[in-house]
A = this chain, B = another copy of it.
Amino acid sequence: MKEVSQKYKTPVLFIDKKKLRDNYRALREAFPDFRICYAIKSNSDPGIIEILRQEGSHFETASLGEILFLRSLGIPGEHIIYSNPVKSAESIARAIEENITEIAFDSLEELEKFLPYREKAKLIFRIAVPNEGSLWPLSGKFGAPEYLWDDIFEYMKNEGLHLYGVTFHPGSQAELLTAWDAAMRVAWRCIDEARDYYGLNPTCLNIGGGFPVYLGREIPSVHQIAEVVYDHLRYWKDHEGYEVQELICEPGRFLSGSAGYLVCKVVGVARREKNWVFLDSGVFSGLMETIDGITYPFETTSTGNKERVIFCGPSCDSVDKMFEVDLPHPKTGDKICFSGAGAYTTVYASHFNGFEPPQIVYLEEVKSPHELLELVG
């Protein structure tokens, strides 16, 4: 990498454009028959959206805010799906106006909002599946459990609503391959019941997101996940005579996560019962997922004997503490580069306590996290 005269002020989120493209291509290769809809909630920076658009990605949204943002970037409504199972009637009306018709639901109450759109709405039923092995299990808040399916199907049949598809989510950062196996089994029971008992004919399957990124623990590859999913799809075709017409997935973290490196600086060290290392990025300025137990792999300019330290953020808030690590003797001014930080970091950042979110800087390619430590001053 060339000498840079102007160094970036920390905190910075560096995005490796090549890695972002490579992630997309790896997923495309693993799931050749799937429409990839990038979950922009993981990182909605326009630069990321533009690169993925160029690669052919479509987009997954959860709010009217996200929809209008994508439309303002010139993304056509036909390339957007609306996967939040619960939303206001106004949001639904506006989405359909924007030609966004593939919309999720998971309750009777929500279905009522679609009665004015019997013709246009392609309803995708979000079902509950086991979320074992996910760092952020989603069960409970979203997804209809099996005992409620009858009521839903009955209502749809009576009201003439079109059951276009079925969807599930194995949970964010799902680290066990069995999650997809379990989810596909539940999905089949749902499709089967809808067809056999209610004459509904879902032709779409959306397998959600949850594809994990490396955060220091062993994880399944997208190829391994695809093998599990395709095994089921083949079985459905060969043994049940049912072929899914439209396959969708909604990766977020998998695309943006490993493409991002958050580089920050040590603003101070306080040695007490614990050694507190204060960084200029914390829970409220990018590293919020640490309060749920995420720990990012990191490189550092610190040198010396290792000490047990606790990373914390720069704010005066007691919640703004992160995780413990062994760090070579830390001192003010040392730099830290966290890997796997492209997703669910800047999007959670507020301006709390006067600390700004990290700036986002795009690089053609990052050969090693270490070189990024040289780019900040």
Contacts and interface: CB of A to CB of B under 8 A. Distances in A.
B350 A145 contact: no
A87 B267 contact: yes
B318 A138 contact: yes
Nearest to A316: B62
A201 interface: no
Contacts of A86: 267-268, 270, 276, 278, 314
Contact of A350 (B269, B318, B320, B347): B347
A280 interface: yes
Interface in A326-369: 331-332, 347-356
Contact of A142 (B141, B172, B292, B316): B316
A110 B268 contact: yes
Contacts of A355: 63, 65
Number of identical monomers bound together in the oligomeric complex: 2
A41 B353 contact: yes
A258 interface: no
Contacts of A84: 314-316
Nearest to A266: B88
Contacts of A206: none
A86 B313 CA distance: 10
Contacts of A110: 268, 270
Contacts of A89: 332
Interface residues of A, number: 70
Interface string A36-67: 00000100100000000000000001111111
A228 B350 CA distance: 37
Interface string A316-328: 1111110000000
A107 interface: yes
29 contacts: A41-B316, A62-B353, A62-B354, A63-B355, A65-B353, A65-B355, A66-B353, A69-B354, A83-B316, A86-B267, A88-B280, A88-B332, A89-B332, A110-B268, A113-B332, A128-B272, A136-B319, A137-B318, A138-B318, A140-B272, A140-B276, A141-B318, A141-B320, A144-B272, A145-B273, A148-B272, A172-B318, A292-B319, A347-B351
Interface of A: 41, 44, 61-67, 69, 83-89, 106-110, 113, 128, 136-138, 140-142, 144-145, 148, 171-172, 265, 267-274, 276, 278, 280, 284, 292, 312, 314-321, 331-332, 347-356
